[in-house]
Amino acid sequence: MRIVLAPTPTPPPMSNDEEVFELPTDGVIGLLPPHESLVDLASYGPILVAQEECERNYEGDVLIVEDEEIQDTCCEVIGVSANLVFPCSNSFRFLNIQLKNLDKYTAIEVEVIDTERMRRKLQFTNSQSKTRITKQYVSMPLKLTKGWNHLSLDLDALLKAAFGTGLRKSLCKYRVVPL
């Protein structure tokens, strides 16, 4: 699986007829991974941590690769014990993810605190076809098309649908897990 993550405060426009959203003048906080002009992906902290964990576990790999389709570098996560965690904290309602389908099972986990001040985990995976909900956890099917996919997740709406609560804060433990 190849991935690029970026939290945004507003959703992208759905069609050409809709109004284009402007970013706040102070910009987007914490691009995940950061724009290549800010830092080299090979030296980006969360990627280095994930690579070290793979070496300790002797299973899986987190690689920086050049993707032919986008002609740019991205992070590839391979193996069952490999995962990539992006730690940060924000209250953005929308999470936008660019994810390449490599025809393997994968999961994306997002940890949040809701309006009832409960810690909840949202999981999106292409390894299941039904939604599963427990008191603090929801797992939803993820349908990926061939090549790169753009996911725009409305965390507030997902929490309302699953638990009847709203988004208070995203702990931004965006965990990418190949299955």
Query: What 3-state DSSP class applies to 71?
Result: coil
Instruction: Report pLDDT digits (tens) over 84-111.
Output: 777 777 788 888 888 888 888 888 888 8
CA separation for the pair 90, 97 (Å, rounded): 16
Query: What 3-state DSSP class applies to 56?
Result: helix
Q: How many C-beta atoms lie closer than 10 Å to residue 160's C-beta?
A: 15
Using pLDDT thresholds of 50, 70 and 90, give the confidence band for residue 24. Answer: very low
CA distances from 48 to 45, 64, 78, 83 (A): 5, 10, 15, 11
Lowest mean pLDDT among 3-7, 76-80, 119-123, 163-167: 3-7
Is 135's pLDDT higher than 50? yes
Domain that holds residue 95: 2-178
Rounded average pLDDT over 125-138: 92
CA separation for the pair 59, 65 (Å, rounded): 18
Number of structural domains (the chain) is: 1
Reported as type and span, the H/E element at residue 39 is none
Rounded average pLDDT over 106-119: 90
CA neighbor of 56 nearest in space, from 39, 79, 76 = 79
Using pLDDT thresholds of 50, 70 and 90, give the confidence band for residue 28. Answer: very low
CA neighbor of 108 nearest in space, from 94, 90, 127, 129 = 127
CA separation for the pair 76, 104 (Å, rounded): 12
